[in-house]
Copies of this chain bind each other. A is one copy, B any other.
Amino acid sequence: MTATIHRIGRATPPSLDPLMTLVAEDMNSVNAVILDRMQSRIPLIPELAGHLIAGGGKRMRPMLTLACARLIQYMGTRHHKLSAAVEFIHTATLLHDDVVDGSGMRRGRKTANIIWGNSASVLVGDFLFSRSFELMVEDGSLKVLKILSHASAVIAEGEVNQLSAQRRIETDEEQYLDIINAKTAALFAAACRIAAVVAEKDEAQEQALDTYGRHLGIAFQLVDDAIDYASDEATMGKDAGDDFRDGKVTLPVILAYARGNDEDRAFWRAAIAGHKISDDDLAHATALLRRSGAIDDTLARARHYGQRATDALGIFPASKAKDALIEAVEFAIARAY
């Protein structure tokens, strides 16, 4: 497969480097806030939180807040604390997700729930979540608090929705989009939108950044869900085929099931119900996904949302920040190739 949305004339594959360079200095400040505010007199809290936070995540969401602030030429520093708040919400969600999914690996390392147990992961997640609200309160913007408290409720709803859809082969593309909109895209959107709020930009710019973040988030999740079937553990940093074994009905499965013959459908029903979990079953699933074009078309959907993300930036004049945000979209999609 070859990525088809590279801009003509690009010599190298799309990368996150321009985004990372753009926000590097700001990110040092954000990291300082993160390290400072994950502390507690209870040693287990920084120990467990630090394992995940230091564990090589991309800090995608705080990067987006910082880059969007740059895009609209915000000159202050309020976004440092708020970027840390966004990352804390994300980290809390990951800790709880790994408990819910019983995951053993993330970012190429053992998960916190494996090392310290489910109870500690649940409670430290609660701590980080509370701490994120303390950071927002210190900033003092009720508008930011509204955006992020709403995003948090939507994320939790999305996670419960996903749990309800698990092992249900009847899940359709609409419900799937609804789930990833909530569990992933809502925080991407909020991370981008709050940049416009602290910069006191008009509603149109707020909305444009929200749309950029939301569609980037959907594209990101679509690609993640494709990669879960199209990659190996070493590349992915987590257990390959996790979604398959967990009975998660992601878009690749929805498309392959819809397009399959009776035999294929019987296989998917059994697999999603949890009766086909061997490596051979996973190999068979992957073969069905490729043969039906389900992986390719999941990535085509991702390109569609990626294009919408890019187009949402149309109202902003050309700048390094704009280029970096557009290349981040291309990077999100190119990860699959």
Give A residues with C-beta under 8 Å from B.
40-45, 92-93, 96, 99-100, 118-120, 122-124, 126-127, 129-131, 133-134, 136-137, 140, 142, 145-146, 149-150, 152-153, 155-157, 159-161, 163-164
Given B45, B99, B149, B160, which contacts A157 in the complex, CB threshold below 8 Å? B45
Q: Is the CB of B126 within 8 A of A96?
A: yes
**With A150-B134, A153-B127, A156-B127 given, is the CB distance from A161 to B42 under 8 Å?**
yes
A137 to B296, CA, bound (A): 43
Give the secondary structure class of A's interface.
helix
Give me 7 A-to-B residue pairs in the complex whose CB atoms sit less than 8 angstroms apart, sorted by A's number. Answer: A40-B160, A41-B157, A96-B123, A129-B152, A134-B146, A140-B142, A145-B145
Given B41, B119, B126, B140, which contacts A156 in the complex, CB threshold below 8 Å? B126
A99 to B118, CA, bound (A): 9
Most buried by B among A92, A124, A130, A131: A130
A122 to B155, CA, bound (A): 13
A303 to B30, CA, bound (A): 47
Most buried by B among A122, A137, A149, A155: A122
Task: Name A116's closest neighbour in chain B (CB-CB).
Answer: B163
For A161, the chain B residues whose CB sits under 8 A away are 42
